[in-house]
Amino acid sequence: MAKEIERKYLVKGSDWKKLAQGRFYCQGYIATVGKQTVRIRIVGEQGYLTLKGESVGQTRSEFEYPIPLADAREMLDTLCDRPLIEKIRYKIPQGNIIWEIDEFLGENAGLIIAEVELTDENQEIELPEWIDRQVTDPKYYNANLAKHPYSKWT
Contact 89, 100 (CB under 8 A): yes
Which among 29, 48, 140, 150 is annotated as catalytic? 29
The SS3 assignment for 78 reads helix
The SS3 assignment for 89 reads strand
The SS3 assignment for 4 reads strand
Contact 24, 88 (CB under 8 A): yes
- Whole-number Cα distances in Å, 81 to 12, 22, 154: 30, 25, 22
The vertex-89 CA angle with 88 and 95, nearest 5°, equals 155
Q: Is 141 a catalytic residue?
A: no
Q: Which residue numbers are catalytic?
A: 29
